Amino acid sequence: MQSINLPSKPPSSPHPVLNLGFRIFFLSAGVFAILSMLKWSHITFATKFMFDPINQIMPFYWHGHEMIYGYGLALIAGFLLTAVKTWTNQPMPYGYKLLAIFLPWAAARLIYLINGIQINGFTILAGVFDIGFWLLTAFFVIKPIYQVRQKRQIGIVAKLMLLLIGQLVFYYALANKNLAVMQGSLLAGFYLIVGVVFTIGRRVMPMFIERGIAEGGDVVHRVKNSPFLDKLSLVAFFAFFIGDVFLAQLDWSRYLIGVSAVLVAVTNLLRLKNWHLPQIWSRPLLWSLWLSFFGMALGFLLLALYPWGFVNHSLAMHAVSLAGVGLMTLAMMSRVSLGHTGRSVHKPPKTVGVIFVCMVLVWLSRVVLGWVASEHYFVSLGIAQGFWILAFLLFVVSYAKILLSPRTDGLFG
């Protein structure tokens, strides 16, 4: 039986934004998504991806690092520093302790925004901050899981540690100017985050859909779950991860990558079929989640094609990332920010539909337009960047007050 550690006195923090991890990390990730894309847009059109390999980071790798280890890890930290409290019934960091976790992340992001693609002493400092941030996050997530011996979270714990290794490898490769290893660390980090998205999505989407349709009453519509599909998706994703990150240089790996990517896509399309209810299409907080999984599945179909030369790897990856790391995280932040501040998830801000439509347009611009009109690459890229900035600007404007204000029910959190 799990034990509940009750605090000796009611918790308090200097500001509501430090009451629980999701508040400061979701809001800051939203702001950073805007600033980093503005910076990336400047780098894109100022350099056209040309760089000095001695004194500068390859522009693509700057962008990849900040999206994966900057934006992505902030979202994972915010979610887990909130969700683990529910999973384990153990207290999570708040107040100045939470601020101590957040500040290294913020400092590293500020350095990368100011420094751009330049490599200098500040880059080393950013690395120290990045590693420190993730060590603190991993410690405070793993500690309560270990305290209650919650073995079902071993997959989450493993991904946290692998993401730490990915960060370390990135900075090692950066110090040694090893572009191949740097690319591998970014690729591994990206797929680990996709794995976290698949794991968390599988846990919460059925519940969100059932409760989102119930509108506060009894759950009358149940969605189906398949343990077989869950296991097949996990095995297929692991095989794909190994093939694309570690074996891609081998000629026969195209078969492993292709077959495993198709299996990932098919298993998740079947999951979506089981999770589909017609009522979701009138609720933006639900159809956005469903479409994000659908976009990831289409992305894995494209990843199955790239070894055969039908599509380039970057475009296929963006099909997965813009759905799973773009639309999914926006949808999750939009819902969690309501539920964990005591607000009704059935009455989101009126802008949420527009926010999600903007992110769908990002996907269509970067993936579809980028594929069928590849000769206009920079045009499609600029359109996608514009819609990304608009989506996150609307999110920040719509949710800043919610994330900065106390819970509506008077509880702490």
Query: Using one digit for the tens of pLDDT, what is the confidence trace for 392-402?
Result: 999 999 999 99
**What is the predicted pLDDT for the residue at 204?**
86
Domain ranges of the chain: 14-214, 229-276, 283-405
Q: What is the mean pLDDT of residues 176-196?
A: 95
Is the distance from CB of 335 to CB of 345 less than 8 angstroms?
Answer: yes
pLDDT beyond 60 at 47: yes
Question: Can you tell me the distance from the alpha carbon of 76 to that of 79, in angstroms, rounded to the nearest whole number?
Answer: 5
Give the tokens for residue 313: 């790897």
391, pLDDT greater than 90: yes
Closest CA to 40 of 366, 332, 298: 366
Percent of the chain at pLDDT above 70?
97
DSSP assignment letter at 19: S
Model confidence at 233, pLDDT cuts 50, 70, 90, reads: very high
Confidence of residue 2 (pLDDT cuts 50, 70, 90): very low
Lowest mean pLDDT among 2-16, 96-110, 258-272: 2-16
**Per-residue model confidence (pLDDT) at position 319:** 97
- The model's confidence at residue 412, banded by pLDDT at 50, 70 and 90, is confident
pLDDT tier, 1 (very low <50, low <70, confident <90, very high otherwise): very low
CA atoms within 13 A on the CB side of 284: 20
* Average pLDDT score over the chain: 93
How far apart CA 81 and CA 54 sit, in angstroms, is 38
Which pLDDT score is estimated for 222? 82
Cβ atoms 194, 293 nearer than 8 A: no
pLDDT digit string, tens, across residues 113-165 = 999 999 999 999 999 999 999 999 999 999 999 999 888 889 899 999 999 99
In this prediction, residue 410 has a pLDDT band, given cuts at 50, 70 and 90, of: confident
The pLDDT score that the predictor gives to residue 216 is: 60
Q: What are the CA-CA distances from residue 375 to residues 43, 309, 329, 364 (Å)?
A: 20, 17, 31, 16
Q: How many residues does the chain have?
A: 413
- Residues 347-361: what's their mean pLDDT? 96
DSSP state, residue 5: -
3-state secondary structure of 245: helix
Mean pLDDT across 40-64: 92
**310 pLDDT more than 70:** yes
Q: Is 60 exceeded by the pLDDT of residue 8?
A: no
The pLDDT of residue 49 is 86
What is d(CA 142, CA 119) in angstroms, rounded to the nearest whole number? 33
The pLDDT value given to residue 171: 97
State pLDDT tens for residues 213-232: 876 667 777 888 899 999 99
Q: Are 21 and 99 in contact (CB under 8 A)?
A: no
